[in-house]
Structure 1
Amino acid sequence: MAINSISNAAANLQGAGLGLQDLLKILLTQLTYQDPLKPMDNQEFVAQIAQFSALESGRQVNERVDQLLSIQSTSQTIGLLGKTIEAQTASGKVVGTVSSLTLVDGKPTMTLNANGQLFTGITFADLLSVR
Protein backbone atom coordinates (compact mmCIF):
# COMPACT_ATOMS: atom_id res chain seq x y z
CA MET A 1 0.00 0.00 0.00
CA ALA A 2 1.49 3.34 -1.05
CA ILE A 3 1.56 6.15 1.49
CA ASN A 4 0.80 9.59 0.07
CA SER A 5 1.77 12.63 2.03
CA ILE A 6 -0.97 15.10 2.79
CA SER A 7 0.98 17.91 1.17
CA ASN A 8 0.75 16.10 -2.20
CA ALA A 9 -3.04 16.02 -1.90
CA ALA A 10 -3.13 19.68 -0.91
CA ALA A 11 -0.93 20.63 -3.85
CA ASN A 12 -3.42 19.04 -6.23
CA LEU A 13 -6.14 21.37 -4.96
CA GLN A 14 -4.16 24.58 -5.48
CA GLY A 15 -4.86 26.59 -8.58
CA ALA A 16 -8.54 25.66 -8.75
CA GLY A 17 -11.21 28.40 -8.85
CA LEU A 18 -11.11 32.18 -8.86
CA GLY A 19 -8.70 34.22 -6.80
CA LEU A 20 -9.34 37.41 -4.87
CA GLN A 21 -7.96 39.57 -7.70
CA ASP A 22 -10.38 37.96 -10.18
CA LEU A 23 -13.35 38.64 -7.91
CA LEU A 24 -12.27 42.24 -7.33
CA LYS A 25 -12.06 42.74 -11.11
CA ILE A 26 -15.61 41.40 -11.44
CA LEU A 27 -16.85 43.78 -8.74
CA LEU A 28 -15.07 46.73 -10.36
CA THR A 29 -16.59 45.82 -13.73
CA GLN A 30 -20.03 45.67 -12.11
CA LEU A 31 -19.56 49.14 -10.63
CA THR A 32 -18.18 50.55 -13.89
CA TYR A 33 -21.06 49.33 -16.06
CA GLN A 34 -23.98 49.62 -13.67
CA ASP A 35 -27.01 51.63 -14.73
CA PRO A 36 -26.78 55.07 -13.06
CA LEU A 37 -30.59 55.13 -12.77
CA LYS A 38 -30.55 51.76 -10.96
CA PRO A 39 -27.40 51.66 -8.84
CA MET A 40 -26.37 48.56 -6.95
CA ASP A 41 -28.20 48.07 -3.68
CA ASN A 42 -26.00 49.03 -0.69
CA GLN A 43 -26.79 45.79 1.14
CA GLU A 44 -25.80 43.75 -1.91
CA PHE A 45 -22.57 45.72 -2.22
CA VAL A 46 -21.72 45.24 1.47
CA ALA A 47 -22.53 41.53 1.16
CA GLN A 48 -20.11 41.18 -1.76
CA ILE A 49 -17.37 43.00 0.17
CA ALA A 50 -17.96 40.65 3.12
CA GLN A 51 -17.66 37.67 0.76
CA PHE A 52 -14.34 39.00 -0.54
CA SER A 53 -13.12 39.40 3.03
CA ALA A 54 -14.15 35.83 3.84
CA LEU A 55 -12.42 34.62 0.68
CA GLU A 56 -9.17 36.34 1.67
CA SER A 57 -9.38 34.90 5.19
CA GLY A 58 -9.90 31.42 3.75
CA ARG A 59 -6.92 31.86 1.44
CA GLN A 60 -4.71 32.84 4.38
CA VAL A 61 -5.90 29.81 6.36
CA ASN A 62 -5.06 27.57 3.39
CA GLU A 63 -1.53 29.01 3.24
CA ARG A 64 -1.03 28.30 6.95
CA VAL A 65 -2.36 24.76 6.59
CA ASP A 66 0.03 24.17 3.68
CA GLN A 67 2.91 25.35 5.87
CA LEU A 68 1.83 23.02 8.68
CA LEU A 69 1.56 20.10 6.28
CA SER A 70 5.07 20.78 5.03
CA ILE A 71 6.39 20.81 8.60
CA GLN A 72 4.50 17.60 9.39
CA SER A 73 5.92 15.87 6.31
CA THR A 74 9.44 16.92 7.31
CA SER A 75 8.90 15.68 10.87
CA GLN A 76 7.60 12.34 9.65
CA THR A 77 10.58 11.91 7.38
CA ILE A 78 13.05 12.78 10.17
CA GLY A 79 11.48 9.98 12.20
CA LEU A 80 12.54 7.50 9.50
CA LEU A 81 16.26 8.33 9.75
CA GLY A 82 18.15 5.10 10.52
CA LYS A 83 15.08 2.90 9.98
CA THR A 84 14.69 0.17 7.41
CA ILE A 85 12.04 0.97 4.82
CA GLU A 86 10.70 -0.35 1.55
CA ALA A 87 10.32 2.28 -1.15
CA GLN A 88 9.28 2.43 -4.78
CA THR A 89 12.01 3.71 -7.09
CA ALA A 90 12.31 4.00 -10.86
CA SER A 91 14.08 0.62 -10.86
CA GLY A 92 11.45 -1.08 -8.69
CA LYS A 93 10.94 -1.78 -5.00
CA VAL A 94 14.02 -1.32 -2.80
CA VAL A 95 14.56 -2.25 0.86
CA GLY A 96 17.23 -0.39 2.78
CA THR A 97 18.12 1.94 5.63
CA VAL A 98 17.42 5.67 5.48
CA SER A 99 20.94 7.11 5.70
CA SER A 100 20.36 10.83 5.15
CA LEU A 101 17.73 13.48 4.58
CA THR A 102 17.78 16.59 2.41
CA LEU A 103 15.29 19.30 1.54
CA VAL A 104 14.59 19.79 -2.16
CA ASP A 105 12.33 22.75 -2.93
CA GLY A 106 11.27 22.70 0.72
CA LYS A 107 10.22 19.04 0.57
CA PRO A 108 12.12 16.31 2.43
CA THR A 109 13.86 13.60 0.42
CA MET A 110 15.70 10.57 1.72
CA THR A 111 18.80 8.67 0.70
CA LEU A 112 18.31 4.94 1.04
CA ASN A 113 21.28 2.59 1.58
CA ALA A 114 20.41 -0.85 0.22
CA ASN A 115 23.40 -3.19 0.68
CA GLY A 116 25.87 -0.42 -0.10
CA GLN A 117 23.97 0.94 -3.07
CA LEU A 118 22.59 4.45 -2.50
CA PHE A 119 19.20 5.54 -3.80
CA THR A 120 18.65 9.29 -3.58
CA GLY A 121 15.56 11.44 -4.00
CA ILE A 122 13.19 9.06 -2.19
CA THR A 123 10.14 11.06 -1.06
CA PHE A 124 7.61 10.26 1.61
CA ALA A 125 5.14 9.43 -1.18
CA ASP A 126 7.55 6.71 -2.44
CA LEU A 127 7.44 4.95 0.94
CA LEU A 128 5.75 1.54 0.80
CA SER A 129 6.44 0.24 4.32
CA VAL A 130 8.56 0.71 7.43
CA ARG A 131 10.18 -2.43 8.80
Structure 2
Amino acid sequence: MAVDAIGSVLNAQSTETSKQNSIDQESFIKLFLSQLQFQDPLEPVDNREFLAQLAQFSNLEQSRQAAANTEGLLVMQSASQALSLLGRTVSLAGDNTSIDTGTVIAVAFTYSGPELSVQTSSGEVLANIRLSQVTLAK
Protein backbone atom coordinates (compact mmCIF):
# COMPACT_ATOMS: atom_id res chain seq x y z
CA MET A 1 0.00 0.00 0.00
CA ALA A 2 1.49 3.30 -1.07
CA VAL A 3 1.71 6.11 1.44
CA ASP A 4 1.66 9.32 -0.54
CA ALA A 5 2.19 12.81 0.71
CA ILE A 6 -1.19 14.47 0.83
CA GLY A 7 -0.31 18.08 1.40
CA SER A 8 2.50 20.53 1.44
CA VAL A 9 3.20 23.66 3.35
CA LEU A 10 3.69 26.84 1.39
CA ASN A 11 7.16 28.27 1.54
CA ALA A 12 7.76 31.64 3.14
CA GLN A 13 8.29 33.43 -0.17
CA SER A 14 4.97 32.37 -1.69
CA THR A 15 3.15 33.19 1.55
CA GLU A 16 4.69 36.67 1.60
CA THR A 17 3.83 37.18 -2.08
CA SER A 18 0.21 36.20 -1.49
CA LYS A 19 0.02 38.62 1.45
CA GLN A 20 1.31 41.43 -0.78
CA ASN A 21 -1.18 40.56 -3.54
CA SER A 22 -4.21 40.27 -1.26
CA ILE A 23 -6.43 42.86 0.33
CA ASP A 24 -8.00 42.46 3.74
CA GLN A 25 -11.52 43.48 4.64
CA GLU A 26 -10.47 46.73 6.33
CA SER A 27 -8.52 47.83 3.24
CA PHE A 28 -11.48 46.94 1.05
CA ILE A 29 -13.83 49.08 3.16
CA LYS A 30 -11.38 52.03 2.95
CA LEU A 31 -11.20 51.61 -0.81
CA PHE A 32 -14.97 51.29 -0.98
CA LEU A 33 -15.49 54.51 1.02
CA SER A 34 -12.93 56.36 -1.11
CA GLN A 35 -14.79 55.23 -4.21
CA LEU A 36 -18.01 56.64 -2.74
CA GLN A 37 -16.34 59.90 -1.73
CA PHE A 38 -14.73 60.55 -5.10
CA GLN A 39 -17.47 59.36 -7.44
CA ASP A 40 -18.67 61.67 -10.19
CA PRO A 41 -21.71 63.56 -8.83
CA LEU A 42 -23.19 63.77 -12.33
CA GLU A 43 -23.00 59.97 -12.75
CA PRO A 44 -23.26 58.39 -9.32
CA VAL A 45 -22.69 54.66 -9.05
CA ASP A 46 -25.78 52.61 -8.34
CA ASN A 47 -26.10 51.29 -4.76
CA ARG A 48 -26.68 47.80 -6.12
CA GLU A 49 -23.21 47.85 -7.70
CA PHE A 50 -21.66 48.69 -4.33
CA LEU A 51 -23.63 45.95 -2.60
CA ALA A 52 -22.59 43.49 -5.31
CA GLN A 53 -18.93 44.45 -4.81
CA LEU A 54 -19.28 44.01 -1.06
CA ALA A 55 -20.95 40.62 -1.53
CA GLN A 56 -18.21 39.52 -3.94
CA PHE A 57 -15.53 40.52 -1.47
CA SER A 58 -17.33 38.68 1.31
CA ASN A 59 -17.52 35.53 -0.83
CA LEU A 60 -13.86 35.87 -1.75
CA GLU A 61 -12.87 36.22 1.91
CA GLN A 62 -14.90 33.14 2.84
CA SER A 63 -13.25 31.16 0.03
CA ARG A 64 -9.81 32.29 1.19
CA GLN A 65 -10.57 31.22 4.76
CA ALA A 66 -11.90 27.86 3.59
CA ALA A 67 -8.73 27.30 1.54
CA ALA A 68 -6.55 28.18 4.54
CA ASN A 69 -8.52 25.80 6.77
CA THR A 70 -8.26 23.02 4.19
CA GLU A 71 -4.52 23.54 3.93
CA GLY A 72 -4.24 23.31 7.72
CA LEU A 73 -6.19 20.06 7.71
CA LEU A 74 -3.93 18.63 5.00
CA VAL A 75 -0.84 19.52 7.01
CA MET A 76 -2.31 17.86 10.12
CA GLN A 77 -3.28 14.77 8.12
CA SER A 78 0.21 14.54 6.67
CA ALA A 79 1.72 14.79 10.16
CA SER A 80 -0.67 12.14 11.46
CA GLN A 81 0.18 9.88 8.55
CA ALA A 82 3.90 10.27 9.23
CA LEU A 83 3.49 9.56 12.95
CA SER A 84 1.46 6.43 12.21
CA LEU A 85 4.48 5.03 10.36
CA LEU A 86 6.75 5.15 13.44
CA GLY A 87 8.03 1.65 14.16
CA ARG A 88 6.55 0.23 10.95
CA THR A 89 8.47 -1.47 8.18
CA VAL A 90 8.43 0.44 4.91
CA SER A 91 9.93 0.03 1.47
CA LEU A 92 11.80 2.98 0.06
CA ALA A 93 10.97 3.58 -3.58
CA GLY A 94 12.83 5.40 -6.27
CA ASP A 95 12.21 5.49 -10.01
CA ASN A 96 9.48 2.83 -9.80
CA THR A 97 11.81 0.32 -8.14
CA SER A 98 12.10 -0.68 -4.51
CA ILE A 99 15.52 0.37 -3.23
CA ASP A 100 15.54 -0.87 0.33
CA THR A 101 13.36 -1.88 3.25
CA GLY A 102 13.63 -0.53 6.77
CA THR A 103 11.88 0.60 9.90
CA VAL A 104 10.76 4.19 10.48
CA ILE A 105 12.63 5.30 13.62
CA ALA A 106 11.96 9.04 13.66
CA VAL A 107 9.82 11.78 12.17
CA ALA A 108 11.09 15.33 11.74
CA PHE A 109 8.67 18.15 11.03
CA THR A 110 10.07 20.70 8.60
CA TYR A 111 8.49 23.70 6.98
CA SER A 112 7.96 21.68 3.80
CA GLY A 113 6.30 18.78 5.64
CA PRO A 114 7.23 15.70 7.67
CA GLU A 115 10.44 13.82 6.90
CA LEU A 116 11.13 10.28 8.03
CA SER A 117 14.31 8.64 9.25
CA VAL A 118 14.45 4.99 8.23
CA GLN A 119 16.85 2.37 9.57
CA THR A 120 17.53 -0.17 6.85
CA SER A 121 17.97 -3.88 7.40
CA SER A 122 21.72 -3.34 7.10
CA GLY A 123 21.67 -0.85 10.01
CA GLU A 124 22.14 2.28 7.88
CA VAL A 125 19.96 5.26 8.84
CA LEU A 126 18.47 7.18 5.93
CA ALA A 127 17.17 10.63 6.82
CA ASN A 128 15.03 13.21 5.05
CA ILE A 129 12.72 10.64 3.46
CA ARG A 130 9.44 12.14 2.22
CA LEU A 131 6.12 10.35 2.65
CA SER A 132 5.80 10.00 -1.10
CA GLN A 133 9.02 7.94 -1.17
CA VAL A 134 7.76 5.09 1.01
CA THR A 135 5.26 2.27 0.80
CA LEU A 136 4.27 -0.10 3.59
CA ALA A 137 6.23 -3.34 3.39
CA LYS A 138 4.16 -6.50 3.13
CA RMSD, 1 decimal:
3.3
Q: Which runs of 5+ in 2 are unaligned?
A: none
| TM-score, length of structure 1 as denominator length | 0.74
| TM-score, length of structure 2 as denominator length | 0.70
Question: 1:87 aligns to what?
Answer: 92
Distance 2:101 2:109 in 1: 22
User: What SS does the aligned partner of 1:20 have?
Assistant: coil
Question: 1:103 aligns to what?
Answer: 109
Residue of structure 1 aligned with 2:22, choices 19, 23, 41:
19
Larger RCO (CA within 8 A; separation ≥ 6):
2
Of all paired residues, the percent bearing the same amino acid is: 32
Tell me how far 1:70 sits from its aligned partner: 0.7
Task: Determine if contact 1:7/1:73 at 8 Å carries over to the other structure.
Answer: yes
Letter in 2 for 1:40: V
User: What SS does the aligned partner of 2:126 have?
Assistant: strand
Q: Which runs of 5+ in 1 are unaligned?
A: none
Distance 2:40 2:100 in 1: 68
Question: 2:49 aligns to what?
Answer: 44
